[in-house]
Copies of this chain bind each other. A is one copy, B any other.
Amino acid sequence: MKDVAARAGVGLKTVSRVVNSEPGVTPDTERRVQEAIDALGFRRNDSARVLRKGRTASIGLVLEDLADPFYGPLSRAVEEVARAHGALLINGSSAEDPEREQELVLALCARRVDGLIVIPAGDDHRYLEPEIKAGIATVFVDRPAGRIDADMVLSDSFGGSREGVAHLIAHGHRRIGFIGDQPRIHTATERLRGYHAAMADAGITVEDRWVSLGTTDPGRVRSAAEAMLGGPEPVTALFAGNNRVTVTAVRVIAERERPVALVGFDDIELADLLGITVISQDAAAVGRTAAEHLFRRLDGADHAPARVELPTTLIPRGSGELPPA
């Protein structure tokens, strides 16, 4: 910028005015400055700008895994809202590791992102207190914040799961298996709670071996499913706690002779062609809602932390309507 000023034979501030399209520059001076900019290939250094202005026009998004088909659309929706507000998106995957989440979040704070959207892996976010006090707006998504009071946008995991399991019961099932994610993940336990609620509503006593929580890697899910589907009194239906589990469950069921009913939480691409009944949550809507909430905060909204819960939808496609074998 100094160089541009020298070359154009004007003061530093005049260049700054041109670069930022501020008023108070004669067309002629502006032209001279613009020529110098082009000749030198100058581009404003936003790092310096940020340092002076205090706002970075960027927000951070910490999620579990960008490669998961649920988070892609969510992330994209956040990006669109950010873009509409002239902000860039810094993305990070926690890989469901609380330490890595914290490391990422703090790195983002050190860069002074204006705001933060976090799909938490951990359950204690007190480490964020100083940052929030320092003015970094934060919205938690998909799972609640731990031990601090903050905005959150959630899906109705409990209600959705309850509806899905009730749907299976309505189609005659009583021995229904539930395979979910690790119990320290809030949505996993909420969905399990929904399962128990639906079973209790129908007066069914849940047997321990019908329930399995753990990682969503295919091997684990496969053995859990096979265990439930084997033995003298196998389950006649499965409820899959998220998209990863559903995918493996579909594979396991496809290999078996007897039909097994299935309802999965989260929609999956091509589930329509495979006839998989799902509880769908709109990932893009979740992302958009969270981002809009965040920018409202950044624009000065200072009401008490809010908790938004988005509804889920049961989409019957066949697999959830199969009668017991």
Q: Which residues of A pack against B, CB within 8 Å?
A: 41, 43-48, 50-51, 56, 58, 65-69, 71-73, 75-77, 79, 88-93, 106-112, 129-131, 133-134, 247, 250-251, 254, 268-274, 284
Contact = CB atoms under 8 A, between A and B. Distances in A.
Contacts of A89: 90-92
B110 A46 contact: yes
B90 A88 contact: yes
Interface of A is mostly: helix
A71 B69 contact: no
Given A67-B77, A247-B270, A273-B274, 20 more contacts: A41-B130, A43-B109, A43-B110, A45-B51, A45-B112, A46-B112, A58-B111, A67-B76, A69-B69, A79-B91, A88-B111, A89-B90, A89-B91, A90-B90, A91-B91, A250-B270, A250-B273, A251-B272, A268-B269, A274-B274
For the complex of A and B, list the 9 residue pairs with the smallest distance between their C-beta atoms, beginning with the closest.
A41-B130, A67-B76, A72-B72, A67-B73, A46-B110, A66-B76, A91-B91, A67-B72, A47-B50
A107 B79 CA distance: 14
B67 A110 contact: no
B51 A47 contact: yes
Nearest to A53: B47
A264 B93 CA distance: 30
State the number of copies, please. Answer: 2
A108 B45 CA distance: 10
A173 to B, nearest CB: 23
A60 to B, nearest CB: 9
Nearest to A90: B90
B69 A76 contact: no
Nearest to A246: B270
Contacts of A72: 66-69, 71-72
A245 to B, nearest CB: 13
Given A41-B130, A43-B110, A106-B43, A67 B75 contact: yes
A210 to B, nearest CB: 25
Contacts of A65: 76
Interface centre among A51, A67, A88, A247 (most CB of B within 10 A): A67
B41 A112 contact: no
A131 B43 contact: yes
Given A47-B50, A254-B273, A269-B270, A92 B79 contact: yes
A303 to B, nearest CB: 24
28 contacts: A41-B129, A43-B106, A43-B134, A46-B110, A47-B111, A58-B90, A58-B111, A65-B76, A66-B76, A67-B76, A67-B77, A68-B72, A69-B69, A69-B269, A71-B72, A75-B91, A88-B108, A88-B111, A89-B91, A90-B91, A247-B269, A247-B270, A250-B270, A251-B272, A268-B270, A270-B270, A273-B274, A274-B274
